[in-house]
Amino acid sequence: MNHYDHNKIEKKWQKVWESTDLYKTKQGNGKKSYVLDMFPYPSGDGLHVGHPKGYIATDVYSRLKKMQGYNILHPMGWDAFGLPAENYAIKNKIHPAVAVKKNIKRFKSQLQKIGFNYDWSREVNTTDPGYYKWTQWIFLQMYKAGLAFQSHEPINWCPSCQTGLANEDLEDGKCERCGSVVEKRPIPQWVLRITKYADRLLSGLDTLNWPEYIKESQRNWIGRSEGVNLKFRVKGMDLSLAMYNSVPQTYTAQTFIIIAPEHPLVKELVRGTPNEKEVLEFVEHIKRKKAKEGFNHVNEMEGIFTGRYLEYPAANRELPIWVASYALVDYGTGIVSCSAHDDRDFAFAKKYGIPLHPVLFPADPARAEKVRNLDVCYREPNGVLTEPAEFKGRRWDEVREDIIEHLVSKGWGERVVNYRLRDWVFSRQRYWGEPIPLIHCPKCGVVPVPEKDLPVKLPNVKSYAPAGTGESPLASIPSFVNTKCPKCKGPAKRETNTMPQWAGSCWYYLRYTDPKNRKRFTSQRAEKYWQPVDMYVGGAEHATRHLIYARFWHKFLFDIGAVSTEEPFQRLQNVGLILASDGRKMSKRFGNVVNPDDIVKQFGADSLRVYEMFMGPFNQAIAWNSDSLVGSRRFLERVFRLKLKVESKTKNSGAELTSDNLQLKSLLHQTIKKVGTDIDEFRFNTAISALMILLNALEKNEGVPLETFKILIKLVSPFAPHLSEELWNHLGYKKSIHLELWPAYDEKIAVSAPVTIVVQVNGKIRGSFTTERGGLQEELQKRALSLPEVKKWLEGVSVSKVIVVPDRLVNIVVL
RNA sequence: GCCCGGGUGGCGGAACUGGUAUACGCGCAACACUUAAAAUGUUGUCUUGGAAACGAGAUGUGGGUUCGAUUCCCACCCCGGGCACCA
């Protein structure tokens, strides 16, 4: 068979692999590599060619690891709860459970055509009761540990999706899913205390081999801020206010106080004062404005004086207390002391004629004058303080710690850490999610569902559209709601909210280690062996959601002894998007979607795989280009055809590259080295380019020794598993190539090829010569100076210096 | 505004710790094979001067360090991403 018939080859081997359980996970005692994809949400549209890019990468990587002698765990599953699935179901008038089943079937068949080495016996599905039993179990452990609590604070409400949302689900104040403007609504919510883990989520990042910008995103999201809570009395009241300040250096500059309109102390401050009515009206006015779209609290800052003053002995003055639109009720204490050295405070003070008192000045006198005249707001690290006396003349950035100490010792403040991170609003008023396993008993209060009664199954109902009442559709199902209190056995009602989309993905990587276990969360042996995930691959859009949530759950599970590692994902690689050829996102809406099924059929799965890995740097977004795809196809055809040039042992006694072929032999060893390290570092494009270079050289050679050919197809096998299996089989091997060992290289041979020494005169290339590696400097210099093409540049000038870089170049410096 | 990335041929992109810029692939052109086309193969393909030999100039812009800079430093422009009322 001399024609590369990809359809025949690929179907054949996929069948064989399946029937021989080739990719079944082997848990032994040897070294392991857990290679994980972010599992997909099985949408109704099926896969487009962008989806498999990350899966191809993990497939290539895990195949390499396998050949390097690791036991690998490379599983796949479905993240099928949540809004997208439910909205799709409502739109298409098909029950989400049915839609999910159908979509999974389609996804799976699409994936299987690409020839992945997934161990499908470990497949998980977050909507399977046997799975979400343990999602609920983890929630209960959190509840028992005091990490899940009910909140009555107003939360983000999406009027279109008709559910509450977490901070992470917002994009620019809009619902990340549907783009509707989010309102604040006072709906009782279950909230997870992720903020308790803020510090560990931050410090744990340092131990992870993740792309720096993902770690940076998480740091930004957590937003740790160290500062001081200043605490002083309100004049004429038996009341102290605490104000968070992260730049305490300017404490003597403070001239007024602002409090958030929603702050509960506002009422108390103005009670019985002449300003009371006016201030309370203002508060309502701001609340209304904030509920509206596009209200910018800074550009449209508004405020009102409460009539109260704070005693401020730290600067021997009294500070007027204002209610200000730009004060945040849920950051710090909701009360802020303000100075001339903050842009917002500065603008607010100017607007309302509040006095300012700068204490920090630039070195340049002209600029300092402007600061003194309150023409500009100034705050730079190298500014110099004029107050307080103890710190006069010192640089602002150097004096911070000393000032904090000073404030603490005076009893004016205490050290505080604040975070931008908010607790995780965890309940959704929607049908398609894990029921929260709690029971409300009129006598006993909130009672957890006993573990033996898990899972609390999602009832199968006809009507699952959101109720629009702020309650979950489950609330209207009496048979679900009405139950007995596990404690007192009296009549009670079930919690009807469901968990958010992100719940199931917080721990699925643990389930893969022991997917069939119905009795226990995980088997400890499996968990200890496989954890942590060694290589995790997925899109960067999960930087501040899934990847924070999962780390949070994992750290909790670690604390209760359910897992053995502090962090779940040791190494992370981000997959860059594949855009459509028009440069836009691939979407049914734009009609620019390319279906992998078509590519597989026309060019073959191996061509698709090689192309997607060769397109460009893995983590970079890149446009699909069907014209370029043929290059990958040609490469595989040439590998296929190379078998015609292979010299068998009988024909040629050598079967290996001889010393006549030193150049080629050296290239072979260089390629083995490069392909291995490039795959390991997710530089697939250069790995393939190295394979192409080797192939070019082998084609030019008179014949190809059998051993060399074997090495070539082993190197190609992670990228093109079907083609290499076919060629391997063709050589007479019955055992799969994917169970072979990765070829070894000899560093000495890899560097044995002659090197080209470039000769420069004043940095310009004037000639070159080849020589053995490791030539002596004097010899290289001598030879360089004797080259005729170099000599002519040396006439009539004097050589002042010669720089010799061993194995690379000689640069002759002339005057 | 702050914090990360990144700007290299017609296109996707290579280039180790500062050492031959444009590897590899696509496209394009010519040639070979063919009755012809496709496929395949060979050669060429940054710009510019030159018949050629051989020069000159190019890695967003402008400076600097260096024998030598895509790589290091400074300033600026542009693109992508994260955060943005977080005091």
pLDDT digits (tens, 9 = 90+) for A178-233: 888 888 888 889 999 999 999 999 999 999 999 988 998 999 999 999 999 999 99
Q: Distance in angstroms, CA of A709 to C1' of B59?
A: 38
When mean pLDDT is compared over A50-59, A337-346, A362-371, A521-530, the highest value belongs to A50-59
Three-class SS state of A64: helix
In this complex, the residue with its CA at the shortest distance from the C1' of nucleotide B6 is: A620
Average pLDDT, stretch A377-391? 86
Residue A754 has pLDDT above 70, yes or no: yes
When mean pLDDT is compared over A81-90, A142-151, A756-765, the highest value belongs to A142-151
> Looking at residue A451, what is its pLDDT?
94
pLDDT, one tens digit per residue, over A703-735 is 889 999 999 999 999 999 999 999 999 999 999
> For the residues of A613-664, what is the DSSP string, one character each?
HHSS-TTS-EE--HHHHHHHHHHHHHHHHHGGGEEPTTT-S--S--GGGHHH
Q: Distance in angstroms, CA of A68 to C1' of B69?
A: 39
In this complex, the residue with its CA at the shortest distance from the C1' of nucleotide B4 is: A213
Nearest nucleotide, CA A630 to C1': B26
> Residue holding tokens 């006069």?
A392
In this complex, the residue with its CA at the shortest distance from the C1' of nucleotide B81 is: A213
pLDDT, one tens digit per residue, over A113-140 is 999 999 999 999 999 999 999 999 999 9
In this complex, the residue with its CA at the shortest distance from the C1' of nucleotide B16 is: A674
In this complex, the residue with its CA at the shortest distance from the C1' of nucleotide B1 is: A343
> Looking at residue A571, what is its pLDDT?
95
Q: Distance in angstroms, CA of A775 to C1' of B16?
A: 20
Nearest nucleotide, CA A764 to C1': B68
Q: Distance in angstroms, CA of A371 to C1' of B41?
A: 76
Q: Distance in angstroms, CA of A366 to C1' of B42?
A: 73
Q: Distance in angstroms, CA of A778 to C1' of B63?
A: 37
- CA-nearest of A107, A114, A122 to A35 is A122
Q: Distance in angstroms, CA of A543 to C1' of B4?
A: 13
Nearest nucleotide, CA A765 to C1': B20
Give chain B positions with protein CB within 7 A: 3-5, 11-16, 19-21, 23-27, 40-42, 54-57, 67-69, 80-87
The token pair at A310 is 């704070």
Nearest nucleotide, CA A218 to C1': B82
Q: Distance in angstroms, CA of A805 to C1' of B66?
A: 15
Q: Distance in angstroms, CA of A502 to C1' of B87?
A: 32
pLDDT level of residue A658 (50, 70, 90 thresholds): low
pLDDT level of residue A653 (50, 70, 90 thresholds): very low
Q: Distance in angstroms, CA of A723 to C1' of B39?
A: 20
Distance, CA of A576 to CA of A543 (rounded, Å)? 13
Three-class SS state of A207: helix
pLDDT level of residue A797 (50, 70, 90 thresholds): confident
Residue A746 has pLDDT above 80, yes or no: yes
Q: Distance in angstroms, CA of A624 to C1' of B13?
A: 14
Percentages of chain A per state (helix, strand, coil), in multiples of 5: 40, 20, 40
Q: Distance in angstroms, CA of A576 to C1' of B76?
A: 30
CA A812, distance to chain mean position in Å, is 50
Nearest nucleotide, CA A619 to C1': B5
Nearest nucleotide, CA A342 to C1': B87
Work out whether the CA dihedral A436, A439, A444, A447 comes out positive or negative. negative
Nearest nucleotide, CA A213 to C1': B4
Q: Is the ipTM of this complex over 0.85?
A: yes
> Looking at residue A651, what is its pLDDT?
52
Q: Distance in angstroms, CA of A333 to C1' of B40?
A: 75
> Looking at residue A175, what is its pLDDT?
86
Average pLDDT, stretch A37-42? 94
In degrees rounded to 5, what are phi and psi of residue A394? Answer: -95, 155
The more confident residue out of A439 and A162 is A439
Nearest nucleotide, CA A792 to C1': B54
pLDDT level of residue A5 (50, 70, 90 thresholds): very high
Average pLDDT, stretch A169-175? 83
Share the mean pLDDT of chain A. 91
Nearest nucleotide, CA A615 to C1': B12
> Looking at residue A657, what is its pLDDT?
62
Nearest nucleotide, CA A339 to C1': B87
Residue A810 has pLDDT above 50, yes or no: yes
Average pLDDT, stretch A417-446? 94
pLDDT, one tens digit per residue, over A399-429 is 888 999 999 999 999 999 999 999 999 999 9
Contact criterion met (CB below 8 Å) for A529 and A513: yes
Q: Distance in angstroms, CA of A757 to C1' of B71?
A: 21
> Residue holding tokens 């409502």?
A90
The token pair at A2 is 């001399």
Nearest nucleotide, CA A768 to C1': B20
Q: Distance in angstroms, CA of A626 to C1' of B72?
A: 40
Nearest nucleotide, CA A216 to C1': B4
Measure the CA dihedral A302/A303/A304/A308, to 10°. Answer: 180
Nearest nucleotide, CA A246 to C1': B87
pLDDT level of residue A689 (50, 70, 90 thresholds): very high
Distance, CA of A795 to CA of A791 (rounded, Å)? 7
Q: Distance in angstroms, CA of A194 to C1' of B87?
A: 23
When mean pLDDT is compared over A240-254, A578-592, A709-723, the highest value belongs to A709-723
pLDDT, one tens digit per residue, over A498-546 is 999 999 999 999 999 998 888 888 888 899 999 999 999 999 889 899 9
In this complex, the residue with its CA at the shortest distance from the C1' of nucleotide B18 is: A805
Distance, CA of A671 to CA of A178 (rounded, Å)? 49
The token pair at A352 is 């309302």
Nearest nucleotide, CA A330 to C1': B86
The token pair at A794 is 């040396």
Q: Distance in angstroms, CA of A398 to C1' of B60?
A: 38
> For the residues of A526-572, what is the DSSP string, one character each?
HHHHHPSBSEEEEEGGGTTTHHHHHHHHHHHHHHTTS-S-S-SBSBE
Q: Distance in angstroms, CA of A480 to C1' of B80?
A: 49
Residue A1 has pLDDT above 80, yes or no: no
- CA-nearest of A21, A19, A57, A44 to A608 is A57
Average pLDDT, stretch A624-645? 92
